[in-house]
Amino acid sequence: MQQIKLVTIIGARPQIIKAAALSRAIRNHFAESITEVIVHTGQHYDESMSAVFFEELGVPKEDYNLNVGSKSHGHQTGAMLAGIEDILLKEKPDALVVYGDTNSTLAGALAAAKLLIPVIHIEAGLRSFNKTMPEEINRITADHVSTLLFSPTTAGFLNLVREGFLPANEGPFTADNPNIYHSGDLMLDNSLYFGEVSGKKSTLLKQLDIEESPFVLATIHRNANTDDAGRLSALFLALNNISVENNLTIVLPLHPRTRKMLDTHLQPEAKASVEKNARLIITEPVGFLDMIALEKNAKMIITDSGGVQKEAYFFNKPCIILRPETEWVEIVEGGAAILVDADYGRTMKAFADLKDKAIDYKPIFGDGKAAEFICGEIVKHIKPRK
Ligand code: UD1
Ligand code: UDP
């Protein structure tokens, strides 16, 4: 049987995590029909933002690393585009897989589409309707050059229909005749799979001495929050005051982007309260098993991360979203999460509203088998080249 050869593009932390689910499904169920060549753009490169995930999630080591590193959007995306094109010309894959909405996603999708290689976009259809977010531009562009589009949610699927994609289409599928799916979310596959392992392997709660004490988990990394001194300071003040007023520990594994801004962007009042509050624990970014341990045991999660919002929902935790809008509209509509932007007062109120709220976490992210479904569709619709 001739195998389908995929080139998978990863680069940012969440893409390495998402790739774990697809690689696992290929290894366990599709090893005879699919082979994968993994290309790391090097968008994320710190040990704690990249290498740690390969080891603990069993992602096969990348076949290529473009080592692009941190640059402005144009320079970063351009360097990736050129590097990926060279690899595609050499490897001649039958299709290319991209995840999510980062610059690595955009570069991969553009490079492949121009070479007439079908693009498979996983996490398609999500929209914030806010083009000041670089991610919104990346995801719209990636979707509109893709051949197979896998949306994790109903809202994402309907966004694609609104943009002209046909909800029930007939093959053969091409970039001009793409197919869209409501596939469920392969991040749920991962959370279910690694949820068990995490309980056995992670020792972080013990190290932080929070095994017995209630704590809130927080993450902040969106450029709109990190690059604006007023917003960043309002968020840190809110975290501090939630901790002080409720006698709670807050654990904040900090993205390097945010860490670099603390010195220059935290206003004096916020800086002083952060320095004084021993219960506001700021750590390096943590590995995925530690992150899941934190998520599973937190009282609440406060975040501007796309992935962490969902994981909060997977583990039945209320979530405060530090953004003006979200792509995961279902979790807000269902009452499990509240949007507060970077507003101090709204954050404090959301904490009070969510802290004892009874929430019905309906299953909106699929059945935990999204990766297998996606592989099945790839095998049906991507033809190995002769
Ligand atoms: C990127 C994605 C964002 C995603 C996030 C996941 C884009 C436009 N943004 O944002 O959608 O949510 O990844 O984490 O693609 N840095 C380091 N070490 C690293 C990586 C980054 O120090 O290993 C620092 C650098 O100062 C860099 C900054 O973080 O300039 C931002 O990194 P970048 O990859 O450009 O964007 P993210 O904010 O990580
Ligand atoms: N994550 C992690 N360690 C951390 C912070 C996040 O393992 O210190 C994981 C998190 O569990 C989720 C993913 O990284 O699976 C989310 O990535 P991030 O917040 O960087 O990006 P986004 O999802 O917003 O694009």
Residues 165-217: tens digit of each pLDDT? 999 999 999 999 999 999 999 999 999 999 999 999 999 999 999 999 999 99
CB of 253 closer than 6 angstroms to any ligand 2 atom: yes
Does residue 286 surpass a pLDDT of 90? yes
Q: Indicate whether residue 148 lines ligand 2 (CB < 6 A).
A: no
CA-to-CA separations, 178 to 8, 13, 135, 170, 174, in angstroms, rounded = 19, 28, 22, 9, 5
User: Region 357-384: what's the mean pLDDT?
Assistant: 97
Are the CB atoms for 136 and 128 separated by under 8 Å? yes
CATH superfamily of 4-185+367-381: Glycogen Phosphorylase B; (3.40.50.2000)
Span 318-330, mean pLDDT?
98
pLDDT confidence of residue 55: 87
Atom 2 (ligand 1) nearest CA: 102
State pLDDT tens for residues 101-140: 999 999 999 999 999 999 999 999 999 999 999 999 999 9
Per the document, the length of the chain is 386
Residue that has been written with the tokens 């710190």 in this structure = 46
Q: Once rounded to an integer, what is the mean pLDDT over residues 368-384?
A: 97
Catalytic positions, written as ranges: 221
- The finding on whether 13 has its CB within 6 A of some atom of ligand 2 is yes
Give 203-354's CATH code, choosing from 3.40.50.620, 3.40.50.2000, 3.40.50.720, 3.40.50.740.
3.40.50.2000
The finding on whether 288 has its CB within 6 A of some atom of ligand 2 is yes
Q: Is the pLDDT of residue 305 over 90?
A: yes
**Which whole number is the average pLDDT over 317-334?**
98
- Mean pLDDT value across the chain: 97
| Start-to-end C-alpha separation, the chain | 12
Residue spans of the domains in the chain: they are 4-185+367-381, 203-354
CA of 72 to the centre of ligand 1 (A): 11
Relative to the CA of 100, which ligand 2 atom is closest?
25
What's the predicted TM-score (pTM) here? 0.98
Q: What is the mean pLDDT of residues 324-343?
A: 98
Asked if domains 4-185+367-381 and 203-354 share a fold, the reply is: yes
What is the rounded (10 degree) CA torsion for 253, 259, 263, 265? Answer: -90
Task: Give the per-residue pLDDT at 8.
Answer: 98
